[in-house]
Amino acid sequence: MKPCWICNLGLMPYDQAFELQTRLAFLRYKKAIDDILLLLEHPPTVTLGKFGKIENVLVAEDELIKRGISLCSSNRGGDVTFHCPGQLVIYPIMDMRSREGNLRRFLSELEEVVIKATAAFGVQGERWSEHPGIWVEGRQIAAIGLHFVRGVSMHGISLNVNPDLEAFRVINLCGMAGKEATSIAKMAKRNVSIQQAVEFVQASFSAVFEVQLEDISCQQVLGDVFG
Amino acid sequence: MKKPEYNKKNSTCKSEGLSRRDFLKNAGLVTGGIAVTSMAIAAGCTDGGKTTTPTTTPPATTSPTTTPTTTAPTSTVPTTTPTTTPPTTTGNGGFVYMPPASNPELVDVVGCTSKVAADRLYSEEHVWVKLIEDNLAVIGMTDKMQLLLGLVERGELVLNPVGTELVYDGWLGNFEGQKMNVDMYSPVSGIIIQVNDELYVNSRVLESEPYLRGWLYVIELSRPEELDNLLDPIEYATAQANPNA
């Protein structure tokens, strides 16, 4: 199995995580590091993808600010996404140049990681061919959006573990009006912690991508990358 | 740099005791902040996660006599859906590139599973360059690139308009598929004098004829010596066959 670092960053602002991903992607492109999986949560943030439509943000920017929600642009694929605590964000920085298959397969494998992880809680996630991401009974439990820079992946998939689902109403999920979000905790009808989800995501990620995960501390990654 | 040993009996690995060099294989890159920033700009990103979102207007029509601008490329979003106002095709006084009708000879390198034409040069970023006159070149994405993208017909291609000045290793275009997008980088510097209109109405030629009708731009080269940086067909095919080299 190939090695892959894994780093749990805790709560990190979107902008800071974006900068970190950008630098890690460059280092991976230069083959200065191995693949690395970042696990984290973002403070309340609305992000617009490269072709995201501002009309899918249903609340004015000043109102977002009042509610403590940041609005950020992103170079990932997809439209609009909402992040908040209680949502596990999964960013794999992986070199596609040495992997079999195409980028679509990579996206599908990332979805598979989440399907396996939610299944561990008795929640059956499903794909919706026209709208990548993971859905449970018509509600979105995980949103996906990727960017590839010089053959290296950035961004990833966000899994709702136990977030405040009401907060998602500030956007049209993935640009679709009327769609609702759900979470593992809601569908499993019990408390589920981020740490519990992390354990299953790690296991399924290792199995799906056939990698040997190696822990690396947040301090070491940030120290090395940002000096 | 030596990598940490795995604990074969346990899927977890010790993080304690890892030095910085264990994470970063090349210490020199730690101080490469400027290079990182340059790459981010080339990728259409700016600092702090704010990105340059391409506009949703089609490329501006440029007359053949318009002097090419020297400003940075303008992001534009032509789509693969036929439009009522097609983008400009040529800015070179009537010069119109017509791709050959028959496939070029392909190189045969063991382990390379994509098609590599023998009559052109390549960048590591899967873009080909074919010289057609002294300072005129055609560029396009390789068969490997379209294989990586998959389902080209379901995506959206974003190209620069005629008159754009391309910079070596700068932003060449973008391919947006469902929930994912891929930046492309220019293998040469020069001015775009023709854009392949057919891609806006029939992007499948990127898949079916990457070395013929699937071309992207005709470029007037401003630094022809940059061609020396590119890979010849055997080198490119060998790199595909040995991606970990």
Which pTM does this prediction carry? 0.78
Is B73 exposed, middle or buried, given 0-12, 13-18 or 19+ CB atoms closer than 10 A? Answer: buried
Rounded CA separation A13/A73 (Å) = 13
Measured between beta carbons, the chain A residues lying within 8 angstroms of B30 are 224-225, 227
CB proximity A37 to B under 8 Å: no
* Gap between the Cα atoms of A80 and A51, Å rounded: 9
Residues 6+ apart with CB under 8 A from B239: B124, B231, B245
Check residue B7 and give its pLDDT. 31
Give percent of chain A with pLDDT exceeding 70.
Answer: 100
* Positions of E strands within chain A: 2-11, 35-41, 45-48, 70-73, 80-83, 87-93, 134-136, 139-149, 152-160, 211-215
Scanning B20-169, the segments in alpha helix (DSSP H) are 20-23, 33-42, 143-149
Position B151 scores a pLDDT of: 60
List b or e across B27-46, with b for residues whose CB sees 16 or more CB atoms inside 10 angstroms: eebbebeeebbebbebbbbe
User: Which residues of chain B have a pLDDT value below 70?
Assistant: 1-94, 151-154, 245
> Of all helices (H) and strands (E), which one includes residue A29?
helix A14-29
Beta carbons of B62 and B91 less than 8 angstroms apart: yes
Question: Which pLDDT score, from 0 to 100, does residue B12 have?
Answer: 28
Burial string for B162-179 (b: 16+ CB within 10 Å, else e) reads bbbbbbebebbbbbbbbb
Q: What is the pLDDT at residue B77?
A: 36
In this prediction, residue A206 carries a pLDDT of 98
> Which is more confident, A139 or B24?
A139
List the alpha helices (DSSP H) in A30-170. 61-66, 103-119
- Retrieve residue B132's tokens: 């057609």
Rg (CA), chain B: 20
Mean pLDDT of A66-81: 93
Q: How many CB atoms lie within 10 A of CB A49?
A: 27
Q: In Å, how far is B65's CA from the nearest CA of chain A?
A: 32
Q: Name the residue in chain B with its Cα closest to that of A227.
A: B30
Asked if A174 is an active-site residue, the reply is yes
Give A36's strand partners.
A5, A93
A14-29 helix and B33-42 helix, angle to the nearest 10 degrees: 100
Rounded distance between C-alpha atoms, residue B230 and residue B120, angstroms: 10
How does residue A35 score in pLDDT terms, banded at 50, 70 and 90?
very high
Predicted pLDDT at A205: 98
Describe the crossing of helices A14-29 and A218-226 by its angle, rounded to 10 degrees. Answer: 70
pLDDT at A60: 94
Answer for the pair B77, B53: CB distance below 8 angstroms, yes or no. Answer: no
* Best to test chain A binding among B24, B148, B180 (most A CBs inside 10 Å): B180
Q: Where are the alpha helices (DSSP H) in B61-196?
A: 143-149
Write the pLDDT tens digit of every residue in B146-197: 888 876 556 778 899 999 999 999 999 988 887 888 989 999 999 999 999 9
Q: How far apart are CA B124 and CA B230, in angstroms?
A: 8
The verdict on B198 touching A (C-beta cutoff 8 Å) is no
Tokens encoding A120: 């561990």
Contact A19 B49 (CB under 8 A): yes
Kindly state whether A135 is in contact with chain B, defined as any CB-CB distance less than 8 angstroms: no
**When comparing pLDDT for B175 and A184, which is higher?**
A184
Interval A202-217: pLDDT, tens: 999 999 999 999 999 9
In angstroms, how far is CA A122 from the centroid of its own chain?
21
Of B34, B57, B55, B54, which is closest to residue B45 (Cα–Cα)?
B54
Give the model confidence (pLDDT) of A148-182 as tens digits.
998 899 999 999 999 999 999 999 997 888 899 99
Choice between A22 and B113, residue whose per-residue pLDDT is larger? A22
Percentage of chain A surpassing pLDDT 90?
Answer: 82
CB A74 within 8 A of CB A50: yes
Task: Indicate the SS3 state at residue A157.
Answer: strand
In this prediction, residue B91 carries a pLDDT of 57
| Cβ <8 Å between B176 and A145 | no
